[in-house]
């Protein structure tokens, strides 16, 4: 097989276990490519790729680059001195960015790209699940697993390809969708964007990539998104559909009614009310579902059938995912790491908790993000009844002098939060178990390895005496 301008018949993925990279590797393997790759460690995702026939090495070394490799696929997280990348350049093997590979995979399909500072993974997942529920057999590439390792991507027989479009490194400029969603526009990714103006310019470029006669679905509720709408208004060949609770929204949300861990949503469509269920809690997830509904309608999918099918979506891993219950305490995992996401998830969990308390163990993600948004993160944590803050998860970054989790803790205390530091990652489960009482909800929150604490908290809850 061969894909457009990039030879992907025998690709080698550096960092193949990552959320975005593994999805592309899966699709290529299913399409018949000879896939190889490497990752820093063993994982369920790596094992799932091997089951599809991929050759995956653990660790990075020049000898891991197979003879006959047609191209090497990298993400922005791969450093220039990676030995496999160095070997590829020495051997003259073409190096392809992940976004170019995804763009090639979308070629010849009706592409639907989901962008925004928050909510991309959830909205993309909602579309993938609901379109599959309708028998449309979409292909999709998502930044998170739906329900099992390797479920972040799928090669479908249908004509629709749904993809999460990442603005963090401007890679979403590579796509040319028929329909695009922009959920919100806020300042983030501080290593790549110096100002909100640069963010707006980047999203404008993305909108400019929509195919002539295509559709932009954009939030009517978020000011950054409304600013984007103002900037692109009147462009020839662009249909704009605004969605949200705002009175001037084209697809208006009339009501979101919380029902425990689900929501009932009513929208006004063609002058008539349409009510459907979203099987995850929180107003922001309900609004994501409405954006998905509008995008599907733009592709010609019947509204009532799609609205009903959206109820089949039960969540994506790490997006308010219930990890289990012990001693009357539910443990839920949240990927939220930006203040807006944190506040939205905490508000959703607050509704679901009823009379119980909301307890959070939060792991800040990236030194640069903490440096810029520590105050806002602290304010978000004030929405919980009590919080434990871990040390910063560095991911791809080197430390920044003076930037520690204490910046967030100080801000949270100024906002009136009950918050404490925990520098020993391994001690956190016992700390949370000691705080929790029957009826409480414990939230593990952050984009790093804090997700691994859920099972350990459940085990610790089973071993400790009830809190008083």
The 10s digit of each residue's pLDDT in 183-197 is 999 877 666 777 889
d(CA 365, CA 448): 6
pLDDT of residue 354: 79
SS3 260: coil
d(CA 341, CA 2): 39
pLDDT of residue 468: 40
Tell me the average pLDDT of the chain.
91
d(CA 54, CA 35): 5
What residue spans of 96-158 are helical by DSSP H?
98-106, 120-133
d(CA 359, CA 157): 44
As to burial, measured by CB atoms within 10 angstroms (0-12 exposed, 13-18 middle, 19+ buried), residue 176 is middle
Residue 361's alpha-carbon distances to 326, 344, 436, in angstroms, are 17, 16, 12
pLDDT of residue 335: 86
pLDDT in tens, 418-434: 999 999 999 999 999 99
Strands 160-164 and 95-97: unpaired
Picking from 38-42, 107-111, 464-468, which range would have the lowest pLDDT averaged per residue? 464-468
**Other Cβ atoms closer than 10 A to 40:** 11
Nearest CA among 120, 462, 427, 178 for reference residue 324 = 462
Q: pTM score, two decimals?
A: 0.73
Q: What b/e string do you get for 356-392 counting C-beta neighbours within 10 Å, with b at 16 or more?
A: bbbbbbbbbbbbbbbebbbbbbbbbbbbbbbbbbbbb
Q: Which helix (H) or strand (E) holds 357?
A: none
Nearest 10 degrees: Cα torsion 191, 166, 348, 218: 110
Picking from 235-244, 306-315, 445-454, which range would have the lowest pLDDT averaged per residue? 306-315
Nearest CA among 314, 331, 339 for reference residue 451 = 331
Q: What b/e string do you get for 290-329 counting C-beta neighbours within 10 Å, with b at 16 or more?
A: bbbbbbbbbbebebeebbbbbbebbbbbbbbbebeebbeb
d(CA 200, CA 21): 26
What residue spans of 221-366 are helical by DSSP H?
223-232, 283-298, 303-310, 339-353
Enzyme catalytic residues: 120-121, 164
Q: Which helix (H) or strand (E) holds 5?
A: none
Q: Rg of the chain's alpha carbons, rounded to an integer?
A: 22
pLDDT of residue 3: 41
d(CA 241, CA 56): 43
Q: How does residue 135 score in pLDDT terms, banded at 50, 70 and 90?
A: very high
Q: How does residue 144 score in pLDDT terms, banded at 50, 70 and 90?
A: low
pLDDT of residue 467: 46
Contact 85, 72 (CB under 8 A): yes
d(CA 39, CA 30): 20
Q: How does residue 262 score in pLDDT terms, banded at 50, 70 and 90?
A: confident
d(CA 25, CA 34): 10
What residue spans of 39-119 are helical by DSSP H?
44-51, 83-91, 98-106
d(CA 340, CA 226): 17
Nearest CA among 359, 364, 342, 345 for reference residue 423 = 364
Q: What's the whole-number mean pLDDT along residues 376-394?
A: 96
- For the chain, what's the residue count? 468
d(CA 246, CA 241): 13
Contact 288, 345 (CB under 8 A): no
With a CB cutoff of 8 Å and minimum separation 6, the contacts of 51 are: none
pLDDT of residue 1: 37
As to burial, measured by CB atoms within 10 angstroms (0-12 exposed, 13-18 middle, 19+ buried), residue 270 is exposed
Contact 71, 28 (CB under 8 A): no
Q: Half-sphere exposure (CA, 13 Å, Cβ side) for 206?
A: 31
């Amino acid at each position: 097989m061969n894909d457009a301008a990039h030879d992907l018949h025998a690709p080698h993925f550096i960092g193949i276990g990552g959320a975005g990279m593994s999805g592309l590797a899966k699709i290529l393997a299913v399409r018949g490519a000879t896939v190889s790759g490497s990752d820093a460690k063993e994982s369920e995702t790596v094992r799932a790729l091997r089951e599809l026939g991929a050759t995956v090495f653990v660790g990075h070394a020049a000898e891991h680059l197979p003879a006959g490799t047609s191209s090497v696929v990298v993400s922005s997280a791969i450093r220039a001195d990676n030995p496999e990348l160095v070997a590829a350049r020495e051997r003259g093997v073409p190096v392809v960015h992940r976004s170019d590979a995804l763009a090639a995979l979308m070629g010849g399909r009706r592409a639907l790209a989901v962008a925004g500072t928050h909510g991309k993974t959830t909205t993309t997942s909602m579309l993938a699940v609901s379109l599959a529920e309708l028998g449309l057999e979409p292909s999709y590439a998502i930044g998170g697993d739906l329900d099992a390792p390797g479920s972040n991507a799928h090669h479908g027989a249908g004509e629709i390809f749904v993809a999460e479009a990442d603005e963090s490194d401007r890679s979403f400029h590579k796509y040319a969708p028929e329909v695009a969603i922009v959920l919100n526009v806020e300042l983030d990714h501080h290593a790549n964007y110096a100002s909100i103006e640069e963010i707006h310019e980047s999203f404008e470029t993305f909108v400019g990539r929509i195919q002539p006669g295509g559709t932009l679905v954009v939030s009517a509720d978020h000011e950054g998104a409304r600013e984007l709408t103002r900037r692109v208004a009147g462009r020839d060949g662009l249909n704009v559909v605004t969605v949200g609770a705002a009175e001037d929204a084209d697809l208006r949300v009339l009501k979101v009614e919380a029902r425990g861990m689900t929501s009932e949503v009513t929208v006004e469509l063609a002058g008539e009310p349409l009510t459907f269920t979203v099987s995850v809690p929180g107003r922001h997830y309900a609004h994501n579902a409405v954006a998905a509904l509008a995008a599907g309608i733009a592709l010609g999918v019947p509204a009532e059938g799609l609205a009903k099918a959206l109820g089949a979506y039960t969540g994506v891993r790490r997006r308010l995912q219930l990890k289990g219950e012990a001693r009357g305490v539910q443990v839920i995992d949240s990927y939220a790491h930006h203040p807006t996401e944190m506040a939205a998830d905490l508000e959703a969990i607050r509704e679901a908790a009823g009379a119980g308390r909301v307890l959070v163990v939060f792991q800040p993600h990236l030194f640069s993000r903490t440096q810029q948004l520590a105050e806002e993160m602290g304010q978000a944590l004030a929405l919980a009844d009590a919080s434990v803050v871990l040390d910063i998860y560095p991911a791809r970054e080197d430390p920044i002098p003076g930037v520690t989790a204490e910046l967030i803790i100080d801000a949270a205390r100024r906002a009136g939060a009950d918050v404490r530091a925990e520098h020993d990652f391994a001690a956190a489960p016992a700390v949370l178990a000691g705080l929790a009482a029957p009826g409480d909800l414990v939230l593990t929150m952050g984009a790093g390895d804090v997700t691994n604490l859920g099972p350990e908290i459940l085990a610790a809850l089973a071993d400790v005496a009830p809190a008083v």
